[in-house]
């Protein structure tokens, strides 16, 4: 169980690294929207308070997250050599962009938004009980 949790934390960190350029763009867009509309929900997401309560998250939502997480992890593993083999910064950025685009498509095909995925990942990293729920489903999915 500990190994799965460590794998989850590592994989989430890797995904965060891969999605960093998207994060900056989305954060800027959310900030601009919040400034234009003063939407409390947008401001709440932008400030990092997702309002998620682990007890309110359904098993179905966790299953969607686990499915997306495993597929994104697989994508990352498959494209790692290509990313490391990039000879120029421009080539590296293009590969990163392609991976980000594929990761977002995977997440959305799992019936999650990119934002929901990141919120669930963050919650798994800060809430030990929720992290264990995720780890248990990861273990089940891998067996």
Predicted confidence at residue 36, as pLDDT, reads 40
> Taking phi first (over 0 means left), then psi (-120 to 50 degrees means alpha), and beta for anything else, what does residue 113 get?
beta
For residue 119, give Cα distances in angstroms to 21, 45, 123. 17, 9, 6
Predicted confidence at residue 23, as pLDDT, reads 39
Report residues of the chain scoring pLDDT below 50: 3-5, 10, 12-49
Q: Hey, what are 48's tokens?
A: 């990092």
Domain assignments of the chain as residue spans, ordered by start? 2-142
Predicted confidence at residue 50, as pLDDT, reads 53
Predicted confidence at residue 143, as pLDDT, reads 79
Q: At which residue do the structure tokens 């095909």 appear? A: 109
Q: How far apart are CA 50 and CA 130, in angstroms?
A: 15
Predicted confidence at residue 22, as pLDDT, reads 39
Predicted confidence at residue 55, as pLDDT, reads 85
Predicted confidence at residue 69, as pLDDT, reads 95
């Amino acid at each position: 169980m500990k190994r799965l949790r460590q794998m989850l934390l590592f994989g989430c960190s890797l995904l965060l690294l891969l999605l960093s350029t998207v994060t900056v763009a989305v954060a800027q867009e959310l900030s601009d929207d919040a400034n234009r509309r003063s939407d409390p929900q947008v401001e709440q997401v932008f400030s990092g308070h997702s309002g998620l309560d682990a007890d309110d998250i359904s098993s179905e939502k966790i299953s969607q997250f686990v499915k997306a997480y495993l597929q994104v992890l697989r994508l990352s593993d498959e494209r790692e050599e290509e990313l490391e083999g990039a000879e120029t910064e421009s080539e590296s950025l293009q590969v990163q962009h392609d991976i980000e685009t594929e990761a977002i498509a995977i997440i959305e095909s799992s019936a999650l938004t990119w934002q929901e995925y990141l919120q669930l990942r963050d919650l798994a990293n800060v809430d030990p009980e929720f992290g264990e729920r995720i780890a248990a489903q990861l273990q089940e999915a891998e067996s």
